[in-house]
């Protein structure tokens, strides 16, 4: 086991770092089809939530709940989908996806429905200006 945390190459490739929370790095999936965020606990060699120390499990749940609430406020979604799969990317990471009844994949899961549509620079800047202050206010990131 390594002691140094390194973000998996899949997450580096597909994610844009938005904030560092007390335990997790919050990434935005570079797919503008959906408000799709990924939380990654900064712990090395962890594939599943049960492998975190219990204090980290509690912190993770608190951060996940806060992020979910902030995202729903920010995007005014119809449903928050939270999922931990990890079949392709073994590093523990949790998807937080704001869903809308009129989104292109509703009510199906988003995986495999549409090709990734990267954010335009101005879209990304606008999203960061809106979201980061909300995160700082609630989580202190």
Q: What is the pLDDT of residues 5-41, one digit of tens each?
A: 999 999 999 999 999 999 999 999 999 999 999 999 9
**SS3 state at 68:** helix
Position 39 in a domain: yes
Residue 98 to residue 17: CA distance in whole angstroms: 18
Position 141 in a domain: no
Residue 121 inside a domain? The answer is: yes
- With residues binned 3-state (H G I as helix, E B as strand, rest as coil), the percentages for the chain, rounded to 5, are 35, 20, 45
Residue 107's domain comprises 9-135
The bridge status of strand 15-20 relative to strand 94-99 is unpaired
Q: Reply yes or no on whether the pLDDT at 1 is more than 50.
A: no
* CATH number, position 76: 3.30.428.10
Average pLDDT of the chain, as a whole number: 92
Domains held by the chain: number? 1
Q: Of 31, 53, 49, 30, which Cα lies nearest the Cα of 40?
A: 49
Please indicate, yes or no, whether the overall pTM of this predicted structure exceeds 0.75. yes
pLDDT band at 70 (very low <50, low <70, confident <90, very high): very high
Strand order in the sheet with 15-20: 15-20, 24-29, 36-41, 94-99, 79-83
- The CA–CA distances, whole Å, from 6 to 43, 107, 130, 135 equal 8, 34, 28, 23
């Amino acid at each position: 086991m390594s002691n140094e945390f390194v973000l998996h190459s899949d997450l580096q490739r597909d994610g844009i770092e938005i904030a560092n929370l007390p335990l997790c790095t919050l990434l935005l999936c570079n797919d503008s089809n959906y408000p799709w965020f990924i939380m990654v606990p900064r712990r090395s060699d962890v594939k599943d939530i049960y492998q975190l120390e219990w204090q980290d499990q509690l912190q993770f749940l608190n951060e996940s709940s806060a992020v979910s609430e902030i995202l729903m406020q920010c995007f005014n979604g119809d449903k928050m989908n939270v999922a931990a799969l990890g079949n392709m990317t073994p590093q523990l990471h949790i998807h937080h996806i704001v869903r809308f009844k009129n989104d292109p994949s509703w009510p199906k899961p988003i995986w495999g429905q549409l090709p990734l549509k990267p954010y335009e620079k101005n879209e990304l800047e606008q999203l960061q200006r809106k979201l980061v202050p909300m995160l700082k206010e609630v989580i202190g990131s």
